[in-house]
A and B are shown apart, each in its own frame.
Chain A
Amino acid sequence: MHKLIQNEMLKLIAKKRLIVIAIIIGVLVMLFTYAQYKQIQTQREKLGTSDWRTILQQQIVDTTNRLSSSRISDEWKKQLQISLQQQQYYLEHDINPSEPGAPTFMRIFLENSIDLFIPLMVMVIASDLVSSEHSLGTVKLLLTRPVKRWKILLSKYITLCLAVSLIIAIAGILSYGISGLVFGYKGWGAPILTGFSVTDTGLNTSEVRLLSLWKFLLMDFGLVWFVAIVVGTLSFMLSVLIRSTAAGMGVMLAALISGAILNNMVSSWKSAKFFFMVNLRLTDYMKGNAPPIEGMTLSFSLLTLLVWWAAALMVSFMVFTKRDVY
């Protein structure tokens, strides 16, 4: 088995996909770092201070003003109320919600890339893992060796899991390394609050706990990894089913983007919560943002994704081992 995985790794590295992904992540992190830096500067100029309490107070005032406007929708109002309550909670407990430093940047970067950017990078690798063998015609050589088909597919899947882990490690290392140049590398121990839960009556703070940022990040990374594996497995399945890499990528891309769009408009369509793509923002549960559909919780999303993952894996193996190759 390890020889087969070695083979897949050889091909993956020769295709130079991982390097391309690392470059894309690097460039984006640089862009975000600069954007973040600019934002902090303008804030400082506007308020004339760099004290986070003043900034947070100003934000609370802003949010309250927006809430009093009559033109905003109920949905949006609820979201704003929740974030207002959170901001107040942070202020009351004298905790900076975004302690400056590379670890905080990393957290924000992860939270914003979990539902589209990281899945996209994973897709680049996963979607041609099997279909490229078909388009090159090498599948004929691969399947006429004295090796059972399921073993060949399993070696490819394990390679995918390794690659996904590597991508997330690259994202972590690059976002820490690059942003640290600007924001400094400290801040691992900064306190952060988690455990907010959204109920019908609003924000429930009874289970809120204080965590060190590094522990929080560890959990964030776990969630991002889980999402990346699920998305990777789904692209993998499409790669088995659809022999054209471009078509497979197109389908997956459409699903991911539709997820981002649906998140903003499905609150009244309850059964949409079983789609995998509206369940990808797992890190939002950690922060206590309102879910896109009422009644969605972290465990619900985890379970939904798990079902999608298992189904995709099963379909991949069934089709790959049975199918006639022309």
Chain B
Amino acid sequence: MEKKITLSVKDLKKVIGRREIIKGLSFDLREGEVFGFLGPNGAGKTTTIRMLVGLIRPTSGTIHICGFNIREHFQNAMESLGCIVENPELYPYLSGYNNLLHFARMLEGIGEERIKEVTELVGLTERIHDKVKTYSLGMRQRLGIAQALLGNPKVLILDEPTNGLDPAGIREMREFIRFLAEQEGLSVLVSSHLLSEIQLLCDRVAIISKGAIIRIDTVEKLLSNRERVVWRLAPIDKGKQVLAAMTEIEEKEDGTILTEFDEQRTPEWNKQLVEAGVSVIEFHRKLPVLEDLFLELTGGETIA
């Protein structure tokens, strides 16, 4: 059975002055899904997210959150939404608890019990009564999430959630987001300019460039046919010859050779190389980096 659509965006446009910043985006989010929003800086990720959460008024197009149009039923729509836009900026002169209390007062029927619950969920119980200005970035990030979860949202929007976190923090955040989607059934929209992050975290990805979606697909599909194999061979000239006879090759400056990756054929190439007397020093699968993916998808457009 198809899962319920929680966030639906249709033909979203934003014109500032004469420039069309966002050129008609359409996509849907389903229950329990982590959706990635991938694009270089300046592609329109943040502008789009700000339109989704009601900070910026779209020039045209509609946004529905759990069936409510955010223009016509702002209050109902926002009740199902939790978000962090850019950094989790909270009041530094208030304690973590007072920050949560402050935002809980802006929601219907959210009391101290829920505050305690989300505090435990993000693991801040020990420091919750300290002033936010004494928190580390990771703790602020967690408080930001706690704040976003206060109102039991169905949709969670996180703009660059791992920005500024250390590797352990990034990993922790990733696991937490997966937990929210899988166990709690939330739809999570995550934006990032890092492919590796999106790849580990998301189910589906929209690639956005210059205000338009170039492609929406599942992570596996998007990456699988773009995987490459890096070969280090000796002697190199002979190796090149053997490989070129079987597939398309690309020579790199550092003396390695790139070919496509194919489950069946790649081992066969290796065998051929060895039989031809070429020593295979190294060969490994290489995932495409965002730059490469972009170059291919946009046909030469460089990352700004």
Which A residues are closer than 8 A to B by beta carbons? 3-4, 6-7, 10-11, 14-15, 136-138, 140-148, 322, 324-326
Contact = CB atoms under 8 A, between A and B. Distances in A.
Contact of B93 (A15, A137, A140): A15
A7 B105 contact: yes
Interface in B40-63: 50, 53-57
B55 A10 contact: no
Given A14-B94, A141-B147, A144-B81, A324 B89 contact: no
- B contacts with A: majority SS: loop
A136 B89 contact: yes
Nearest to A324: B56
Contact of B56 (A3, A15, A141, A326): A326
14 contacts: A4-B105, A7-B105, A14-B94, A14-B98, A137-B87, A140-B53, A140-B86, A142-B106, A145-B106, A146-B75, A324-B55, A325-B55, A325-B56, A326-B55
A300 B57 CA distance: 42
A-B residue pairs, 6 tightest by C-beta: A137-B89, A146-B78, A145-B106, A3-B105, A325-B55, A324-B56
Contacts of A326: 50, 55-56
Contacts of A6: 105
Given A10-B98, A146-B74, A138 B90 contact: yes
A20 to B, nearest CB: 13
A11 B94 contact: yes
B78 A145 contact: yes
A80 B284 CA distance: 98
Nearest to B89: A137
What band does the interface of chain B fall in when counting residues whose beta carbon is under 8 Å from A? 20 to 34
Contacts of B55: 140, 143-144, 324-326
A141 to B, nearest CB: 7
B90 A4 contact: no
Given A10-B102, A11-B94, A136-B92, 8 more contacts: A11-B102, A137-B89, A138-B90, A144-B54, A145-B103, A146-B74, A146-B75, A146-B108
A36 to B, nearest CB: 38
Contact of A148 (B50, B75, B103, B151): B75
A325 B91 CA distance: 18
B144 to A, nearest CB: 9
Contact of B85 (A4, A7, A140): A140
Given A11-B91, A141-B89, A144-B85, A325 B106 contact: no
Contacts of B78: 144-147
A145 B56 CA distance: 14
A322 B71 CA distance: 12
B20 to A, nearest CB: 15
B76 interface: yes
Contacts of A3: 105-106
A245 to B, nearest CB: 14
A27 B76 CA distance: 51
A14 B91 CA distance: 10
Contacts of B108: 146
Contacts, number: 79
Contacts of B76: 146
Given A6-B105, A137-B87, A14 B54 contact: no
A138 B76 CA distance: 22
A75 B77 CA distance: 64
Nearest to B104: A3
Contacts of B106: 3-4, 7, 142, 145-147
B107 interface: yes
Nearest to B79: A146
Nearest to B81: A144
B198 to A, nearest CB: 23
Nearest to B76: A146
Nearest to A136: B89
A301 to B, nearest CB: 38
B83 interface: yes
A152 B31 CA distance: 31
Nearest to A144: B53
Contact of A14 (B75, B77, B85, B93): B93
Given A10-B98, A324-B56, A325-B55, A148 B89 contact: no
B274 to A, nearest CB: 59
Interface in B168-214: none
Contact of B89 (A7, A140, A147, A325): A140
Contact of A147 (B75, B77, B92, B98): B75
A325 B147 CA distance: 20
A147 B75 CA distance: 6
Contacts of B91: 11, 14, 136, 138
Given A140-B85, A324-B57, A325-B50, A145 B107 contact: yes
Contact of B107 (A14, A136, A146): A146
Contacts of A142: 106
A242 to B, nearest CB: 19
B98 to A, nearest CB: 6
A145 B81 CA distance: 8
A137 to B, nearest CB: 3
Nearest to A322: B57
Contacts of A143: 54-55
